[in-house]
Amino acid sequence: MQASDFQALGVAETFFRALTKLNYQTPTPIQIKAIPPILAGRDLIGVAQTGTGKTAAFGLPLLQHLIGGERRQGRGLPRALILAPTRELALQIDESLRQLASGLPLHTTVILGGVGRRPQVERLMRGTDIVVGTPGRVLDLLQTRDLRLTAVTHFVLDEADRMLDLGFIRDIRKIISALPATRQSLMFSATMPDAVTRLADGILKQPLRVEATPDKITADRIEQSVYFVRSGDKRALLSKLLADPAMARSIVFTRTKHSASKVAEYLCSGGTEAEALHGNKSQPARMRALARFRAGQARVLVATDIAARGIDVPDISHVINFDLPNVAESYVHRIGRTARAGAAGIALSFCDSSEIEYLRDIERLTGAKLTVAGGTTAPASTSRPQQQQRQQRPAQGRRNFARRSSRAA
């Protein structure tokens, strides 16, 4: 037995077959740090973002506790509650738990808004061990008493920072007040601003804090470059780049939902299979878009930050920032979609004259200068990207860009 393997962490043999099937050969750092204390029953704060293997970090010990605990408690009475900020993340957690628990007599139910409540209620009535849900619908079903939390022994709050960003704090507090006082609570968050720490104080008892992969390490594995381009030329540049078959599975990020739709339409009209993913789409439409992208029927997914948050699609070849995010942390989250589970990845960013400050913030946060791949010496932004300018500093790119802009004006 090797010190680093799952068995050494205390994971029961009953999960080995699922781990082999999933090809999880070695635990990730967050799994190494989090699994033993969770198995020992401790409350825990995991500072880790999606992509670090955090779902299995809490999922494996959670399932192991449930297998060892008393059997199903009956209608609408789950033993574990997992809250996630977005529907996509909730579905993904549910899927991961099902895979890890395959062959075991454990039932999960997903509770989310945007889809009919009746099938969810019916499933709860059949009896479930685990509920994975978004706060709004969970609270809704709690208030109608279709869901009761009195038998919950394990509670997980995932992506706590994003929960607060999305304004779920009141819903979360109400849900927590319906939980039994005696329980194990786990919280995961990519960042730990004061508001998250305060929330943790109210939920967790003497929690152990574990951290994995600071943002910079993720960013270090990713080849990052920037194209200085006029706003109106971004779509043409994107098409041009996507002509390269190496861009086999790419996520394109836009700042607005409207822009996500427009860019996807533009690509489709040019013959590139693309899907848009954003909050204005119905839940079934979002699921369809994601499924087509996952299956490779669409090469490109054009998404907003919130819609793409937490989405885990393996083998993303490129992340393209069609618009730079105005919050630098979002850049790190975005590019983390590529370079999953140790793989290398490529991130390309488009920067127009209104986004120079955002670029500066990103470089400050990651501590790295982005390689200038286009728009420094070439006129107009749709010109062929200039590769191999690795040593060029963005300051120079900015100067050239400014010169070009004033010429264009």
Residue 47 pairs in a beta bridge with: 189, 211
Binding of ligand AMP at residue 314 (CB under 6 A)? yes
Q: Exactly one of 9, 18, 45, 55 binds ligand AMP (CB under 6 A); which one?
A: 55
Q: Exactly one of 15, 28, 73, 133 binds ligand AMP (CB under 6 A); which one?
A: 28
Residue 321 pairs in a beta bridge with: 253, 349
Nearer to ligand AMP, 27 or 394 (CB): 27
- Round to whole Å and give the CA distance between 276 and 303: 6
String of contacts with ligand AMP for each residue 29-48, x by CB under 6 A: --x-----------------
Q: Exactly one of 50, 184, 254, 349 binds ligand AMP (CB under 6 A); which one?
A: 50
> Considering only CA atoms, which of 33, 39, 41, 49 is closest in space to residue 15?
39
Token duo for residue 36: 């033993």
CB of 92 to ligand AMP, least distance (A): 7
- Round to whole Å and give the CA distance between 182 and 37: 17
- Round to whole Å and give the CA distance between 25 and 22: 9
- Burial label, 22 (beta-carbon count in 10 A; 0-12, 13-18, 19+): middle
CB of 321 to ligand AMP, least distance (A): 21
CB of 93 to ligand AMP, least distance (A): 8
CB of 65 to ligand AMP, least distance (A): 18
φ, ψ of residue 176 to 5 degrees: the values are -65, -35
CA dihedral 198, 200, 206, 212 (to 10 degrees): -120
Binding of ligand AMP at residue 340 (CB under 6 A)? yes
Q: How many CB atoms lie within 10 A of CB 326?
A: 13
Helix (H) or strand (E) holding 185: strand 184-189
Nearer to ligand AMP, 222 or 264 (CB): 222
Binding of ligand AMP at residue 338 (CB under 6 A)? no
Q: Exactly one of 46, 51, 78, 133 binds ligand AMP (CB under 6 A); which one?
A: 51
Is residue 278 within 8 Å of 257, Cβ to Cβ?
yes
String of contacts with ligand AMP for each residue 56-95, x by CB under 6 A: x---------------------------------------
- Footprint of ligand AMP (CB under 6 A): 24, 26-28, 31, 50-56, 312, 314, 340-341
